[in-house]
Structure 1
């Protein structure tokens, strides 16, 4: 820390359990016990956790509707030499909650902070899915409606990496329908609900199968969706253009050429048809 900042306090971003209150690290408990103040989204939720571990600390409410004022309060406390623990209602603060705005402000002001490791629902979903051999893209919550929502889905569902997102139980079936429309009903998905809680549920199958499992049900709890990455297309064998021209020059039809090369060289018929069509288009353009 630079000399002018000596005597300042610090902000600790403390992940909290996503369901089971025992899923908290010893380091997080130490920080919560030693902090001068705990900033939290919902004081009622945080009090439940603190009471379970007999921790008594002043609470500062920090949520989407009071970010500017709450941020100023935190900055003032740190400059006074206080230690502030920052928690969200569940999981890693700064992921799909106002905590990221605080991170940006701390960076702007040059105020020291530390992020502690801990629970995060989307990581559990990724591991449960088994889809992440090529990595994954985490979207958080999609836009609720409109063109942006569909374009975002369309862009990531064409990638070989898995797609991970959070969804409201009210919109779960709609989102599965959108995924099915873009990626097809055979794309595999995992839907994880109420992770680490008493009624945890993990559903696996194709998009169509999982949607059918959920149809007509009263869906409750936070939801993680993991979508398998797009299948890799087979690399097409390119037949030399001169060979195609020679075969056509000998009077063979497209059907004859496709049959000959597919049987003789094992090249996929549709790939051959695409190459012949491209050759014809190039010749037409040349004549034009």
Structure 2
């Protein structure tokens, strides 16, 4: 068991997780500005983007890059600085660190070393969209970005098909129509969903309707980053005898029951409408 008393005296520094605005700079908190001014170093997803924010609020603290491509290189340096007593702030380009953004590796390293990690509240696209969606706000299931390939999305969404919670995803504009089409394929065209784009900005919009309606709308061409919210399944189509779990779990269950792997793969692929060769490669880890 490990106990963290965030603001008691410590020999190490502290890592502050600082949310940044998702569009409207007025959403920056007084506390976030104060922390960014007082820390010894800012770890930014993109220093060019963050520098614009820092300049706006007249913050002169040094910032260095910390993102998915240099995590392994930066981690030892940052942990060493924290151990020496320096205070660091981590921020992503928009929203909260670690939520579909870099951050979790540094947090995990600090927890392992007993270095206090202090989270600041602030802007978050998922919750901002959810409370105005009109869908049930709780319980909800945050998923973030799906895989990009169609068959991988089908596998992911199939495992989510019967969840009762409102589901929240992120998606880029150039992939939105294809992702919504796959959702309609797996969840059904009549499943209700809501799209939120350009949150907190001048052209903020919400599009509400069935997945079929939203697919037709998205195919006309869209701009902006999207939060995609899909209503939970109130009436699961699967009966109690139908296998549950992910496709790979269903295959393994059939194999454990005495079926050959090839027969199980063929059966699950047919039942779920998946590509048999893709399932074969996934199952055999090829």
**Does TM, scored on the shorter chain, surpass 0.5?**
yes
SS at match of 2:64: strand
Contact 1:13 1:116 in 2 (8 A): yes
In the alignment, does 2:53 pair up with 1:41?
Answer: no
SS at match of 2:169: strand
- Note closer, same or farther for the CA distance 1:134–1:29 as it changes in structure 2 (3 Å cut): closer
What residue in structure 1 maps to residue 200 of structure 2?
A: 196
Instruction: Structure 2: give runs of 5+ residues left out of the alignment.
Output: 240-286
Contact 1:190 1:203 in 2 (8 A): yes
Q: Structure 1 CA distance, aligned partners of 2:72 and 2:140?
A: 33
- Note closer, same or farther for the CA distance 1:210–1:31 as it changes in structure 2 (3 Å cut): same
Q: After TM superposition, which residue ranges in structure 1, 4 or more long, deviate above 6 angstroms?
A: none
- Note closer, same or farther for the CA distance 1:177–1:146 as it changes in structure 2 (3 Å cut): closer
SS at match of 1:70: helix
By how many angstroms is 1:108 displaced?
1.5
SS at match of 2:170: strand
Contact 1:134 1:160 in 2 (8 A): no
Select 2:88's aligned residue among 71, 77, 84: 84
What residue in structure 2 maps to residue 168 of structure 1?
A: 172
In the alignment, does 2:23 pair up with 1:19?
Answer: yes
SS at match of 1:174: helix
By how many angstroms is 1:77 displaced?
1.4
Select 1:215's aligned residue among 216, 219, 223: 219
Aligned length: 232
> Taking structure 2 as the reference length, what is the TM-score of the superposition?
0.77
RMSD (Å) for aligned C-alpha atoms? 2.0
Q: Structure 2 CA distance, aligned partners of 1:135 and 1:148?
A: 26
In the alignment, does 2:226 pair up with 1:226?
Answer: no
Contact 2:79 2:109 in 1 (8 A): no
Deviations 1:104-133 (A, max 9, x none): 111122211111111110111211222225
1:88-237 matches, cutoff 5 A: 88-145=92-149, 147-217=151-221, 219-232=222-235
Deviations 1:10-43 (A, max 9, x none): 1100000000011011111110111111110101
Contact 1:138 1:163 in 2 (8 A): yes
Q: Of Structure 1 and Structure 2, which has the larger fraction of its residues in helix?
A: 1
What residue in structure 1 maps to residue 70 of structure 2?
A: 66
By how many angstroms is 1:141 displaced?
0.5
Q: Structure 2 CA distance, aligned partners of 1:206 and 1:33?
A: 46
